[in-house]
């Protein structure tokens, strides 16, 4: 007798696949909502949403997640009704479907955490059931008349016919292109998968249908693919992309017809393009990175031993070349592993419109989200940490920054506010994520009154005030904000956890921009090592603006404070603080000649150190134990001597300069 199936072995694959399809479903629901708001429909979004939910249902059944099966099946049934009767799905359907999608996400998260799955909410199932009834009532709506052979037309679903009708109505041309595969074409890389990718650049693919043909010299495999396209490109461009002769393209006439058409079950083309990717558990990548980290530390030890041998007079030239080559190989290996861990920033940003939509439904505000993500990528561990900060910033922008439609009209602004989420790669090590709104800006005087402090003199001081725990600009707490936790959490994520920076620009009546300046990775980083007293430290290269030579004769005491001195540099005054005094450690007797310059909220600050030791890649180990958490220390590393070396966050330590009375924030 066979043993019962253990679904746990499928769970990792299920979670990865479900996450991808949930993200796609959310994007298509937003596309539907946008189309409905403009008085249009979006047949393609309905079809893609149906596909995602159908896949989720099948995967969930495989792992025995019945509540997810129930929810996805109910949503799928609503969409099937809409597929059979385009136009029967109305904007009111989006809200219950969003609730159902969130319920599925919650249960997927519960599976990932090993928690029991709650049953599918009865209220959501009832709401979806009502939508199914409405869809059935509208099943006799008109379709399109399309000039295609019956055997081809019969394989089109109602949603695809509606897609053709809408595309032609918007000014696009409907075209049929027939691609016949052959060994000769395949040898040059021209396969149906390649054709689909190329055609997608010049046209909208409605359907790819595999059809049988008699074997001949023109069709040696007895197979052809019919591509139904909507395009604004020329016939020459489409023909070149499809790998066919221009004369073989056939225009398709699409007209509105009153008679209803029966929908067929949608089939997936046999030659559908497949992504050449392999899903890998993050834990496996973490394990590979851990082993790489050990190699990096071993190389440090080898380099130290080599220096010792050289100092003793041994001939180490050949070994030094091998060590140098090993270092280059380790850097290449590190780059390869880090690339495997990177995720597109757009995957984070594209989830934010759903957050905004949920808030605006309860706040009666009108907000449009614009995303400028580019092609930037960030390490998975950084992405997981930074997303909650982005959610807090977006919530604050809607709840605090954006005015009501009536107030915006009185101020001469458009009724609909705009929140722009943008991403900018500052370098190969840093990324800027900005949330910009066109609302009322931050009221510095109101915040100062609530905090019982003086009105901030600049944006840096205002940001310090905003990030005070427990301080909120709202007089009453709502479901979205008002408890004074949001900005404090954002600062802790950006500065304390990621070793990055939080910036603010605001103009009364014009809006605000909050920027998260974060590293692309926090595990293996390029760092400067230096000595302060007899203690070595490291600091990430990305946080240092400049290392300068300091002449003690050029330093002057800051007024009213003996610990802070001032340095004139390129026309600006830089407060300088001895790092050994900040950390309260004994210092060397020799005069310090180096200072590390950092910039916080556009203002420069300097920390004197005794001497620089070098620059190298280091493996950062976070300090997880709250009992050893120290402000300004983000983790520890090993420089090859087997002893822990602290990794400093100098940006956090600049707060001590404020306390020391430099007049800056």
Is CATH 1.20.120.160 what the domain over 8-137 is classified as, yes or no?
yes
Query: How many CB atoms sit inside 10 A of residue 572's CB?
Result: 9
Place of tokens 């074997």: 215
Across the chain, which has 665 residues, the per-10-residue mean pLDDT values are 45 76 85 80 80 81 78 83 62 84 88 85 84 52 68 73 77 88 82 84 84 77 84 90 88 66 38 52 78 81 86 87 86 82 83 80 82 82 86 88 90 91 81 91 85 82 81 54 64 81 88 89 82 86 86 75 77 83 75 80 84 82 63 78 81 64 45
Q: Which pLDDT value is given to residue 557?
A: 78
Whats the size of the chain, residue-wise? Answer: 665
Q: Report CA-CA distances (Å) from 414 to 367, 402, 403, 485.
A: 10, 11, 11, 30
Fold of 143-257: Alpha-Beta Plaits (3.30.70)
Nearest Cα residue to 379 out of 559, 526, 522: 522
The CATH number for 524-659, chosen from 2.102.10.10, 2.30.30.60, 2.40.50.180, 2.40.30.10, is 2.40.50.180
Q: Report CA-CA distances (Å) from 235 to 32, 174, 427.
A: 31, 11, 42
Q: Which pLDDT value is given to residue 264?
A: 38
Q: Please state, in angstroms and rounded to a whole number, the distance separating the CA atoms of residues 194 and 200.
A: 10
Fold of 350-519: Heat Shock Protein 90 (3.30.565)
Label residues 603-631 b or e (16+ Cβ within 10 Å = b).
Answer: bbbbbbbbeeeeebbbbbeebeeeeeeee
SS (H, E, C) 512-529: EEEEEEEECCCCEEEEEE
Left, alpha or beta for 24 (phi > 0: left; psi -120 to 50: alpha)? alpha
Q: Please state, in angstroms and rounded to a whole number, the distance separating the CA atoms of residues 180 and 642.
A: 64
Domain chopping of the chain, boundaries = 8-137, 143-257, 285-338, 350-519, 524-659
How is 554-618 classified by DSSP, letter by letter? G-EEETTEEEEEEEEETTEEEEEEEHHHHHT----SSPP-EEEEEEETTEEEEEEESEEEEEEEE
Element (H, E) at 45: helix 43-62
């Amino acid at each position: 007798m066979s043993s019962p199936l253990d679904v746990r072995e499928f769970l990792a694959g299920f979670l990865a696949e479900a996450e991808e399809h949930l993200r796609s479903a959310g994007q298509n629901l937003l596309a539907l909502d946008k189309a409905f708001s403009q008085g249009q429909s979006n047949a393609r979004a309905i079809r893609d949403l149906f596909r995602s939910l159908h896949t989720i249902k099948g995967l969930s059944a495989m792992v025995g997640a019945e509540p997810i099966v129930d929810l996805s099946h109910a949503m799928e049934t609503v969409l099937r009704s809409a597929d059979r009767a385009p136009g029967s799905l109305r904007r009111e359907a989006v809200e219950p479907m969003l609730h159902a999608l969130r319920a599925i996400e919650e249960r997927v998260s519960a599976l990932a955490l090993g928690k029991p799955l709650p049953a599918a909410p009865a209220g959501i199932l009832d709401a979806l059931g009502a939508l199914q009834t409405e869809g059935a009532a509208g099943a006799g709506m008109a379709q399109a008349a399309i000039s295609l052979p019956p055997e081809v037309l019969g394989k089109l679903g109602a949603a695809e016919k509606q897609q053709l009708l809408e595309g032609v109505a918007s000014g696009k041309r409907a075209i049929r292109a027939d691609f016949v595969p052959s060994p000769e074409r395949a040898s040059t890389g021209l396969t149906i998968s390649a054709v689909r990718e190329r055609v997608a650049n010049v046209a909208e693919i409605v359907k790819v249908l595999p059809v049988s043909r008699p074997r001949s010299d023109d069709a040696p495999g007895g197979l052809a693919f019919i591509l139904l396209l909507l395009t604004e490109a020329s016939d020459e461009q489409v023909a070149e992309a499809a790998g066919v002769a221009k004369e073989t393209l056939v225009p398709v006439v699409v007209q509105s017809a009153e008679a209803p058409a029966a929908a067929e079950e949608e089939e997936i083309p046999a030659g559908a393009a497949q992504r050449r990717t392999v899903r890998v558990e993050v834990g496996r990548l973490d394990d590979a990175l851990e082993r790489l980290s050990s190699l990096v530390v071993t190389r440090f030890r080898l380099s130290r031993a080599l220096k010792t041998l050289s100092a003793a007079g041994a001939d180490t030239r050949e070994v030094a070349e091998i060590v140098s080559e090993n270092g280059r190989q380790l850097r290449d290996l590190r780059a390869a592993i880090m690339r495997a861990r990177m995720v597109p920033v757009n995957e984070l940003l594209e989830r934010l419109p759903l957050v905004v939509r949920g808030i605006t439904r309860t706040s009666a505000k009108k907000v449009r989200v614009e995303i400028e993500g580019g092609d930037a990528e960030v390490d998975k561990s950084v992405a997981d940490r930074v997303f909650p900060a982005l959610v807090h910033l977006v919530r604050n922008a809607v709840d605090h920054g954006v005015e009501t439609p009536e107030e915006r009209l009185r101020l001469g602004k458009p009724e609909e506010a705009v929140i722009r989420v943008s991403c900018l790669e500052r370098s190969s090590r840093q990324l800027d994520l900005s949330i910009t709104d066109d609302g009322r800006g931050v009221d510095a005087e109101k915040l100062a009154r609530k905090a019982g402090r003086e009105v901030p003199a600049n944006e840096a001081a205002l940001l310090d005030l905003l990030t005070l725990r427990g301080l909120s600009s709202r007089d009453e707490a709502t479901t979205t904000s008002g408890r004074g936790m949001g900005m404090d959490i954002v600062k802790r994520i950006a500065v304390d956890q990621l070793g990055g920076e939080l910036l603010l620009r605001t103009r009364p009546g014009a809006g605000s921009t909050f920027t998260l300046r974060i590293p692309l990775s926090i595990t293996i980083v390029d760092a400067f090592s230096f000595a302060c007293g007899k203690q070595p430290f490291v600091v990430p290269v990305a946080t240092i603006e400049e290392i300068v030579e300091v002449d003690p004769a050029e330093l002057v005491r800051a007024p009213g404070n003996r610990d802070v001195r001032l340095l004139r540099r390129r026309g600006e005054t830089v407060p300088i603080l001895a790092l050994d005094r900040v950390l309260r450690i004994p210092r060397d007797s020799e005069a310090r000649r180096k200072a590390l310059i950092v910039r916080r909220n556009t203002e420069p600050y300097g920390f004197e150190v005794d001497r620089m030791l070098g620059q190298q890649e280091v493996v950062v180990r976070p300090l997880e134990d709250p009992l050893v958490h120290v402000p300004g220390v983000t983790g520890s590393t090993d420089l090859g001597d087997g002893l822990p070396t602290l990794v400093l966050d100098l940006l956090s330590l600049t707060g001590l300069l404020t306390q020391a009375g430099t007049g800056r924030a």
